[in-house]
Amino acid sequence: MDEMNRVVRDYIVREYLEEGDDREITDTTPLITGGIVDSFSMVSLKRFLEKKYQIRIPDADATPDAFDTVQGIVALVQRFRTAAPVGV
């Protein structure tokens, strides 16, 4: 789980922080409510998670609430990982 947290954090830093932005992203940093990720750019995070972990996250579960922290994202991924994996 720690490894997954690290992978998600690294992706968020790479994908969403501008050059020179030295904000620390922790497991509880508010991503959506903190303005780091918005609903428009969230789509690439969802796609990354689905591809990386071979899961499908239904649109109804890909909510700003669910994606607001690394902790929340990892919990979401774990939930869908326990279901049968799907080809993506």
CB 69, CB 31: distance < 8 Å: yes
**Binding string, residues 12-31; x marks residues near other proteins by CB under 8 A:** ----x-xx------------
Determine the interface stretch with other proteins among 22-30, 39-47, 55-63, 72-80 (rule: CB under 8 A). Answer: 39-47
* Residue 35 engages other proteins in binding (rule: CB under 8 A): yes
* Residue 41 engages other proteins in binding (rule: CB under 8 A): yes
State the Cα–Cα distance between residues 57 and 21, nearest whole angstrom. 29
What token pair was written down for 45? 């995070």
Burial of 74 (0-12, 13-18, 19+ CB in 10 A): buried
* Residue 79 engages other proteins in binding (rule: CB under 8 A): no
* Residue 40 engages other proteins in binding (rule: CB under 8 A): yes
